[in-house]
Structure 1
Amino acid sequence: MYRNFEGCTTIVTIERPHSLSRRSRATAVLGVGALAGAMILTGTVGTAAADTVTTTIPVAAYPAAVAITPDGAHAYVTNQGSGTVSVIDTATNTATPVTIAAGANLIGVAITPDGAHAYVTDNSASGTVSVINTATNTVAATIPVASYPLAVAITPDGAHAYVTNPRSKSVSVIETANPTATPVTITVPSDAGRVAISPDGARAYVTNYEGNTVSVINTATNTVDPTPIAVGAHPSGVAFTPSGARAYVANSAGGTVSVIDTANPTATPVTIAVSGNPVGVAITPDGTHAYVTDNGGNTVSVIDIATNTVAATKIAVGSWPDGVAITPDGARAYVANWNGSSVSVISINPTPTSDGSLEGLGSLDIFGSLGIFGS
């Protein structure tokens, strides 16, 4: 793009792509007379390419949840039907099974902030959490909790793991430095579904599947706020924005996502219609988008967090998608397809700027680069 100025005798256009989805153009207009030596820079920004599934990774039966190591090198996937955890090398997207316990009903998984251990729930009557040493991919400890534990989340300082126990309507709190100690038990008003810890570590949000609410636990005192937050029907997954200002809750029976203002939890949450059976939710590290799995529609919906609007095109993945996790660099999302015995890898395309600026162009010595004034 350039402007046509009367009296210009030479027009030189330089186009410099700086991402797959955006580009900047610098145009130098060189002329004689009144406009001799003038230079005009204009910016054009393309439309972001749609997110796409780049590969599908076979894993064992009924993958339920995904967690990614802090360095982004590996994804840990629980396989509910095989008693194994698949460890995916994200550089090659190949999976290696790690046996935890034959026949165990493995569902939840979370990784410590230092990346040293993965905590895995066994949703069976024995009620245990296995601690995997990620350096050796061997079980370092087995911690008894209440029967049928479901989900697990770890505080940002790595000191505690919060485990939901739906049948006993409780949450077990594990001291990670002392796994042999008896976990603290917190009673919640309704069955405890999934759990997320706020970025500052001060609160644990627990979805109450049958109660259609979210319980808020003060992690300093391990007490529950007296009034749970009302959300949609059968809430499942929950995730915080990186700032901690909002929590996004997938309501599996309502086809909606509830957005909680964490600074004002008594306010009625915003409701976003996504259709289907939303189950898992993950938010990009830059806090711009939420990825929500539709367990009935075999798709992933993408929510623009700035506007709380849903992208028109859903991302097709495998059969019955459940858990979802995003790499620390925000480049990929890993989706566990429960009925497909696979993990879909979504390539997340960057969002272009919309102001027509030359962001990303950097410093450009246009005359020197072209050799216009060279000897």
Structure 2
Amino acid sequence: MKTILSFTLAVLAAATMTACGTSAPLATQNAPYQAVQAAQIQRAAVAPSLYELAYSARQNAVFVASSGGFGDGAGPSKVLRLDPKTLAVQAEIALPLRGFGVVLDDAANRLYVGNTTEGSVTVVDTASNQVVKTVALQEKVKGADGKEKFPHHFRELVLDPANGRLYAPGLSSDGSALYVMNTRTLALEKVVPGLGAVATGIALDAANNRLFVSNLRGGLVEVDTRSLAITRNHSPGADQMLNLAYDAQGKRLFATDQGLASISERRQKAEPGFAPTPGNRVVVLDAATARITASLPTGDGPIAPLLDAPRQRLYVTNRGSGSVSVFDAASGRQLQTIALPSHPNSLALDSRGNVLYVTVKNGRDDPKGSNESVVRIAF
């Protein structure tokens, strides 16, 4: 691949996206961790090309996006509705465009699905299992090669119910931008440029009216959600902050720092003197200063962090090593590594039931186009 972006998009196509969850009852916050045993893990191969998923307490269902695959022989894209106990498919919701990332507004019975390569977001009604609308957020532009394409690719989505907005960083090696969609009118509200090259992670600090957006050039950008303007830029000292999770109680950010050698090598060629940071870790950042306060070693290629704040647990998928790391979020102590080969990707949490859901992507030795898996871990 000729550019960092082309490599990154290949990685993101196989490693998208973010974690979703609901709040847990406070009575669980001091419960001691008990290591997961094999009998507590269920796995079901449900559809090709699985990406993000969400657990709906209101619908008592798991929703997972299947892009259908890539190329001429790819199947249709859809959202699958799964039984949260058995992982059986209860319904299939056909999508007009290929879906990857998802975020759930459970109170409004809406699932937002990012059409990563097609400049739009599809809105699904989770009560009726029907598509409500596909909202175009970009128009194609003609590139230097004379071909028309969307200027940015969407990856992570974050919901801001109080302000009636959906935030979607649009990534590009030529400069990323934040797309703001009004969830009341289902229309584009604003585009905020200036997020740096290849913006990937996003997290909302609702109490302080700010968004954090990370990029794969070691940058962390703060956006004021009242003015929709960039207020601060940081360089914390972690090169590949792929995904973010915000801890409102501890006023901290957790960021997966991938440390992929391929990305570092391309940067070294493009930027003489560039020295990569270690990677294969979660960095813990002070939300006020963006200073790294802790570095938690993970498996190879960490992707998605999910914080269960009441229980003070942090879950992290490790794509490269085929596992999920479990940390005590208060102390940073690693509690367990759960093997889930081949490539664990995204996370969702039923916090009341203390159940974690994981999408697991196939490896190179699996038949091309075969179904990928959702795993249920009952803690």
- TM-score range, shorter-chain basis? 0.7 to 0.9
Pair 1:293 & 2:322 matched: no
Seen in structure 2, the aligned counterparts of structure 1 residues 325 and 133 have a Cα distance that, compared at 3 Å, is same
Letter in 2 for 1:307: S
- 1:105 is matched with 98
- 1:145 is matched with 137
TM-score, with structure 2 as normaliser: 0.73
Q: Percent identity?
A: 21
Please report how far the alpha carbon of residue 337 of structure 1 lies from its aligned counterpart in structure 2 after TM superposition. 0.8
Seen in structure 2, the aligned counterparts of structure 1 residues 109 and 93 have a Cα distance that, compared at 3 Å, is same
- SS of the equivalent of 2:345 reads strand
The CA distance in 2 between the partners of 1:233 and 1:182, in whole Å, is: 31
- 2:58 is matched with 71
Please report how far the alpha carbon of residue 51 of structure 1 lies from its aligned counterpart in structure 2 after TM superposition. 5.8
Please report how far the alpha carbon of residue 278 of structure 1 lies from its aligned counterpart in structure 2 after TM superposition. 0.3
Please report how far the alpha carbon of residue 229 of structure 1 lies from its aligned counterpart in structure 2 after TM superposition. 4.4
TM-score, with structure 1 as normaliser: 0.73
**Residues 312-338 of structure 1: per-residue CA shift (max 9 Å, x gap):** x41011421111111131511111112
> Conserved in 2, the CA contact under 8 Å of 1:86 and 1:98?
yes
* Counterparts of residues 43-54 of structure 1 (less than 5 Å): 48-50=34-36, 53-54=40-41
> Conserved in 2, the CA contact under 8 Å of 1:106 and 1:121?
yes
- 1:154 is matched with 159
* Counterparts of residues 92-131 of structure 1 (less than 5 Å): 92-95=86-89, 96-101=91-96, 104-124=97-117, 126-131=118-123
**Residues 122-177 of structure 1: per-residue CA shift (max 9 Å, x gap):** 112x3110000111111101111233211111014261100121125011111100
The CA distance in 2 between the partners of 1:231 and 1:68, in whole Å, is: 34
2:327 to 281, 303, 310: 303
**Residues 1-28 of structure 1: per-residue CA shift (max 9 Å, x gap):** xxxxxxxxxxxxxxxxxxxxxxxxxxxx
RMSD: 2.3
> Conserved in 1, the CA contact under 8 Å of 2:114 and 2:155?
yes
- SS of the equivalent of 1:114 reads helix
**Greater share of helix:** 2
Structure 1: stretches of 5+ with no match in the other structure: 1-44, 349-375
1:329 to 349, 352, 356: 352
Letter in 1 for 2:331: T
- 1:169 is matched with 176
The CA distance in 2 between the partners of 1:72 and 1:290, in whole Å, is: 25
The CA distance in 1 between the partners of 2:225 and 2:32, in whole Å, is: 45
The CA distance in 1 between the partners of 2:134 and 2:33, in whole Å, is: 50
- 2:232 is matched with 226
What is the count of residue pairs matched by the alignment?
297
The CA distance in 2 between the partners of 1:69 and 1:173, in whole Å, is: 24
Seen in structure 2, the aligned counterparts of structure 1 residues 206 and 110 have a Cα distance that, compared at 3 Å, is same
> Conserved in 2, the CA contact under 8 Å of 1:70 and 1:114?
no
The CA distance in 2 between the partners of 1:186 and 1:337, in whole Å, is: 33
Letter in 1 for 2:243: G
Letter in 2 for 1:347: A
The CA distance in 2 between the partners of 1:268 and 1:46, in whole Å, is: 27
Larger relative contact order (CA 8 Å, sep ≥ 6): 2
**Residues 220-242 of structure 1: per-residue CA shift (max 9 Å, x gap):** 11112332242523221211225
* Counterparts of residues 1-375 of structure 1 (less than 5 Å): 48-50=34-36, 53-71=40-58, 73-80=60-67, 81=69, 82-95=76-89, 96-101=91-96, 104-124=97-117, 126-146=118-138, 147=150, 148-157=153-162, 159-167=164-172, 169-179=176-186, 181-187=187-193, 188-200=195-207, 202-209=209-216, 211-243=217-249, 245-253=251-259, 254-262=279-287, 264-311=288-335, 313-329=336-352, 331-339=354-362, 341-348=372-379
Structure 2: stretches of 5+ with no match in the other structure: 1-30, 70-75, 139-149, 260-278, 363-370
- 1:354 is matched with none
| Bigger Cα Rg | 1
